[in-house]
Homo-oligomer: A and B are copies of this chain.
Amino acid sequence: MRPYLLLSNDDGVQAPGLHFLIEALRPHADLLVMAPDSARSGFGCSITSSHPLTYRVVRREEGLTVCSCSGTPVDCVKMALNLFPDRKPDLVVGGINHGDNSSVNAHYSGTMGVAIEGALQGYPAVAFSLCDHRPDADFTPLRPYLTKLAEKALALKMPAFTCLNVNFPAVPQFQGVKVCRMARSRWQKEVERRRHPWGPEYFWLVGESVELEPEATDTDRWALAHGYVAITPTQLDVTAYGLMQPLQDLL
């Protein structure tokens, strides 16, 4: 039996990255796609509690159902798992994101939100991102890696409460694949001031990312800067175990 994959993203159901992913995986798996009806970039693991959700099927073919949903990326995963319960996914996939979800960006990423929610629900899960936020980003170099990494994610028998964060550098050819840790970086200068035509000030979130450990060679940022595909295994148990005793001593 063909594997069954649940796909979502944060750039919305129309995004080229999602459609590239669908076409790349379709020969190898049955797909259920539940994606936001428009862009939800930077939505992280947010969920919708203040208003109800809707969805509609926008494409249905043999082995492929695509739905558009009014909610966040995480809402999409919850909606799909609850409204299509007859078949459990073998893998939950987020992406392909238009933009870099390495380092601390993972905390804000709706693409990672998809993978985290998949893993929280007990399924193997992976997020794919290309470090090129342009709508016309070239996803072609990713094609052979997507199916191979999806297969590996299935073969890995990932432990509960983990998922994979895969980032591709924006280069025509990759140097290879590296297993990495999350680099420490920090966003700064994040607010750009503008003035409304009628007078009041408003602010755009912008910013520049500063590497806090530029010398390290085992990070996702290093791998990406050197043309490698960066795979960061990610844990959902965020307990800082090493801090438990110092904290206990202080209380």
Contacts and interface: CB of A to CB of B under 8 A. Distances in A.
Contacts of A49: 41-42, 205
A203 B71 CA distance: 10
Given A54-B202, A251-B152, A239 B181 contact: yes
Chain A interface secondary structure, helix, strand, loop or mixed? mixed
A41 B50 contact: yes
Given A162-B240, A186-B120, A191-B82, A45 B45 contact: yes
Interface string A101-121: 000101110100100100011
B83 A156 contact: no
| Interface size range on A against B | 35 or more
Given A158-B243, A244-B179, A47 B52 contact: no
A121 B186 contact: yes
A189 interface: yes
Given A190-B78, A191-B78, A205-B48, A160 B177 contact: no
Interface in A7-52: 39, 41-50, 52
Interface in A227-241: 231-241
A107 B205 CA distance: 22
A193 B55 CA distance: 12
A177 B233 contact: no
Given A179-B251, A186-B120, A194-B52, A107 B236 contact: yes
Given A48-B42, A186-B121, A234 B240 contact: yes
A74 interface: yes
Nearest to A246: B156
Interface string A203-219: 11101000000000000
B106 A238 contact: yes
A248 B179 contact: yes
A161 interface: yes
A190 B49 CA distance: 11
3 tightest Cβ-Cβ pairs between the two chains A and B: A233-B243, A82-B191, A235-B240
Given A45-B46, A120-B186, A235-B240, 9 more contacts: A41-B49, A41-B50, A52-B203, A82-B189, A107-B116, A107-B238, A160-B184, A161-B184, A233-B243
